[in-house]
Structure 1
C-alpha cells in the first residue's frame, strides 16, 4: 500500500521523430439525449495527456453540439438519441483502429445492453465509467480500468455476485479506481491511495475529466495500474490548483483542463 505523490506519476516519452497517431489514438464512446458535455470533457482531458488523436463516438445530436464546442475532437455520429444494442457491431469495428477505448461518459442506462455487448467482445484496453459500470460484471471484462464512485461500485459488486471481502480474487488484470475523498486504486495484488483533491471535486464533470486522463495515458502505452494512479493524482492536483486560483469552490470541471501542463511538468 502506498500514498501517491508527484514522483509516482509515469509520464509517457514522446518519440522525437514520431508522426500523427504514433503517440496514441483513443476512442471515447458515450453521450445521450440527456448528457451532452461529458464526452467532450473526457475527450479534451485525454488530449491534454499528450495523446495524438481522440475520436468521440456519440449520438448524432450530441455530435453536432461537440462540433460547435471544439475543433480538437474527431466526431463520429450515430443516428438516434442513445446507443442501442444493434449498434455494437459497428462501434466494435470502429474501435479496431484505436489503442484504447473509454466507454460510459453520459451514455445513460438506455444503452445498458449496448455496453454489455460491446464490452463482452472488445479486444482493446478499456476505461469504463459511469452508467457503463452498472451494465457489466467482473466476469465479462478483461484488461480494463473501472472508475466508479461508491454507489456504482456496489452495483458492480452485486452484478458480479461478489462482495468487498472477495472481489479482489476475481479481478484478473482489471483495475478499480474507486473515487472518494481519498481515491483507492486497486489491482489483484497492489493498492495505492490518492489524497490530492478537495470537496470541490464533487462538481459534475470532474469524473469525466478523470476518465479522460485515464484513457489518455493508456492510449500512450502506460500500464493500467500506473494510468489509473496518474489520473487520480493529476485530477485531484488540478482541483487543488483551481481551489487556490479561484480562492474557493467556484471552479467547474472544464477549468481543470487549464492546468494539466503545470501538473505534468
Structure 2
C-alpha cells in the first residue's frame, strides 16, 4: 500500500476561518476524559493543546481527587469532577455518572479518552461507558494511553466506528496487535503493514502508530508523518498529540456540517477521510512544536516547553495559507 503526505492546503480546509460572525463554541467544544489522583498533568495537556490551537471550550472530566489540582493549573479549563474511584464510588453511582457525562457529550463536537486515566476499575468502567455513549451520538473520539487498554479488553468498543482515532506508542501498539491477533504467527511484519492490519481488524478506525515516523492508516489509506521533532522524549507529548487531534476532529465535524466552505485548492476532503487528515495534522504540529521547544531549551525541554510552542507551530505551518484564503461571498 503506497503512502502519501496530504498537502498543507488540503489540511487547511479543516481550520475554521475567524470571522465576526462566530459565536462561542463555533470553533469547537471538546472534552478530555481522564485524570486521577496520580495523573493530573495528562488531561491538562490534552485540553490545553486543543485550546491553544483554537478550540473555544475545553472540558476535563476527571476523578474528584484530581479536579482541584487540574483547576489550579489553568482557569481556562472547565473541570468536571464526575469520575469516581473505587474508594469514592459511594459518592455517585455509575448511572448517575453516565447521566452527567451524557449531558456534557450532547454539547460537544469531539472527545478524547484515556490520558491520565489510571488503573482504577470504577473509573475505567465509567470511561468505557462514556466512550460507548459518545459513539452512539456519532462524536469524533480520540483514544490514547489507558483507553487503549480498554480496546485491548473489548475491541468491539470501537470496532467499525470510523470516527475514532487511536494513538498508540510502540508498547501500546504491541499490546493492541497481540489482542487482535496481528503478527502472532511469528512472522515479523513491517510497522506500516502491522498498523494497516490493526486498522482493518478494527473495521476502519484510524490508527496512529507513533514512532520515529508516525504512521497513520485506516486500513485502506496510509499517511506517514516524518516532520522533524525534538530529541527529548519527555512524558506528555503524546497527550498534546491527542489534544491536537481533538481540536482538528472537532473542526472536522463542523467542516462536515459545512459550517464553512473553503475550497480554494480543489475538491473538499471526503468525510470518511477527515479523521486521517486530522490525525496527520496533529502529528505534524506536535512534532514541529517539539522541534521548536528543543531548539530553545535543549536537554531542559519539558512538556510544558512543547505546549508553549504548539500555537507557534500552527502559525508556522498555516498562517500564510489562512491569510491567503478568500471566503465565499454570502
Residues 114 and 208 from structure 1, CA distance in 2 versus in 1: closer, same or farther, beyond 3 angstroms? same
Distance 1:254 1:30 in 2: 19
Over 6 Å off, 4+ runs:
82-85
**What displacement does 1:22 show?**
1.1
Which of 251, 255, 258 is the matching residue for 2:305?
255
Q: Please, what is the CA RMSD of the aligned residues?
A: 2.3
Give the corresponding residue for 1:210: 241
- TM-score, normalised relative to structure 2: 0.73
Which segment drifts farther, 158-167 or 253-262? 158-167
Which of 4, 10, 21 is the matching residue for 1:2?
4
- Within the alignment, does 1:127 sit opposite 2:139 as a pair? no
Superposed CA deviations along residues 36-86 of structure 1, whole A, max 9, x for unmatched, are 111111111000111111111111221111211111111111264479782
Superposed CA deviations along residues 118-170 of structure 1, whole A, max 9, x for unmatched, are 32332311000100111114432122111111211222233334443743433
Matching of residues 210-229 of structure 1 within 5 Å: 210-221=241-252, 223-229=274-280
Residues 180 and 108 from structure 1, CA distance in 2 versus in 1: closer, same or farther, beyond 3 angstroms? same
Distance 1:133 1:79 in 2: 18
Residues 138 and 170, structure 1, Cα contact 8 Å, conserved in 2 = no
Distance 1:26 1:188 in 2: 26
Which segment drifts farther, 36-45 or 162-171? 162-171
Distance 1:138 1:106 in 2: 21
Residues 177 and 186, structure 1, Cα contact 8 Å, conserved in 2 = yes
- Within the alignment, does 1:93 sit opposite 2:103 as a pair? yes
Residues 198 and 219, structure 2, Cα contact 8 Å, conserved in 1 = no
- TM-score, normalised relative to structure 1: 0.90
Residues 125 and 255 from structure 1, CA distance in 2 versus in 1: closer, same or farther, beyond 3 angstroms? same
Give the corresponding residue for 2:290: 239
**What displacement does 1:91 show?**
1.8
Give the corresponding residue for 1:106: 116
Give the corresponding residue for 1:198: 230
Gaps of 5+ in 2: 184-193, 256-273, 316-330
Count residues in correspondence: 263
- Within the alignment, does 1:12 sit opposite 2:27 as a pair? no
Gaps of 5+ in 1: none
Residues 234 and 263, structure 1, Cα contact 8 Å, conserved in 2 = yes
Distance 2:175 2:98 in 1: 23
Which segment drifts farther, 230-239 or 173-182? 173-182
- Which has the greater radius of gyration? 2
